Amino acid sequence: MSKTYTNEEILERLKSLEGLLLERVFETSYSESLRTYDLIDHLRSKAHDLGLEGEDAYTALIRDLEKLSSTIGGLINGRRGELLAAKSLRCLRGDSLLLSNIALPNGDSFEEYDQVLIARSGIYVIEVKNYRNDVVIDDGGILRCGLRSYNLGERMREKMRALWDAIQFSSDGCMSEEDVHGMLLFVNNDARVTDLFHRVPVMRCGQIVYSIEDATRCDEKLSWEDMVRIKSVLLARRTAAEFPMPLDENRVISELEDFLDLVEVETARDAAESMAAGHNEVDSPATPDNHARHSQLPSWVPAVAAVISGLAIGAGGLFLHAKKG
């Protein structure tokens, strides 16, 4: 069985991998401000200059680096979004209890909850999205944002059911399953949302607290004691949310080394061809013009020196770094 990790552990490991790869390639010009997308741009430029864009080693490396970049970005944006959501929900007037980033059992698996708010009017399962691009939720409940898709209708119903399963025998009749509500909260106000589903309320940070306060004024179902008991039950039933690593770290390291080997070979070949061209120029019959050039360095020498000195990436250092890690 493969080892699993929390999202925090995955982010830490992927950030360490990112730093290792960046240091390997950029060496003395490495900076902590560099990110995986800087590495991708650099390698793409290098592959284009040397004609390596069709090599399997290059395409595999870029594919994994793009996944590395998007996974790190997604985890960071998700965490930032959940903090913004919690900040907004703490502005709620009246009695409420908030649980952030918990997981509850669901059969052989589990359900993740960004925010669970326990209020007088019931329990709110709040799914948080921190998307920058525009979003469409189609009439089948599928949320689409760029290349990403998410079955909002199915996932929200699963989350609500798993939460009710966790508390129903401790609710003491104070509430029913209909008092578990689902909401979708977008924390980035610049993202336009087109909702064709209309089954899960779509909220913004400045809107959600007013909606919950309005519901509470209309219908108070839970006493403070009920709310505290439900929170205790949820905390007792929570489980660890762990996942396999989304990338094989050793494979990415090996792919980079394979590509750097190709760069070294191709750069050396270019240097040899430049030297051969320079020799042909020097060995051509003397004329008054090229006789004067014999007293100077051949014109190909600076070019070859530039190619060799520009080869800033070799083949062995990353494995030394990996052993240290």
| pLDDT attached to residue 324 | 40
**How confident is the model over 250-305, as pLDDT tens digits?**
999 999 999 999 999 999 998 888 888 776 665 555 444 544 444 444 444 444 44
The amino acid present at 115, given as its one-letter code, is Q
| pLDDT attached to residue 106 | 96
CA dihedral (124, 130, 131, 132) in degrees, to 10, reads 140
Per-residue pLDDT of the chain (325 residues; tens, 9 = 90+): 689 999 999 999 999 999 999 999 998 888 889 999 999 999 999 999 999 999 999 999 999 999 999 999 999 999 999 999 999 999 999 999 999 999 999 999 999 999 999 999 999 999 999 999 999 999 999 999 998 899 999 999 999 999 999 999 887 888 999 999 999 999 999 999 999 999 999 999 999 999 999 999 988 899 999 999 999 999 999 999 999 999 999 999 999 999 999 999 999 998 888 888 776 665 555 444 544 444 444 444 444 444 444 444 443 444 334 334 4
What whole-number distance in Å separates Cα of residue 287 and Cα of residue 300? Answer: 19
Beta strands in 237-321 (DSSP E): 243-244
Look at residue 95 and give its three-state secondary structure.
coil
CATH number corresponding to 90-244: 3.40.1350
Which sign, positive or negative, has the C-alpha torsion 288, 293, 298, 302?
Answer: negative
pTM over the 0.85 mark: no
Contact, 226 vs 179, CB < 8 A?
no
Q: Which is nearest to 138 in space by CA: 195, 67, 178?
A: 195
| pLDDT attached to residue 112 | 97
Edge-to-edge strands of the sheet including 193-195? 148-151, 142-145, 135-137, 193-195
Look at residue 93 and give its three-state secondary structure.
coil
Q: Which is nearest to 212 in space by CA: 100, 101, 95, 129?
A: 95
Boundaries of CATH 3.40.1350 in the chain? 90-244
Contact, 318 vs 261, CB < 8 A?
no
Contact, 154 vs 141, CB < 8 A?
yes
* β-bridge partners, 204: 186
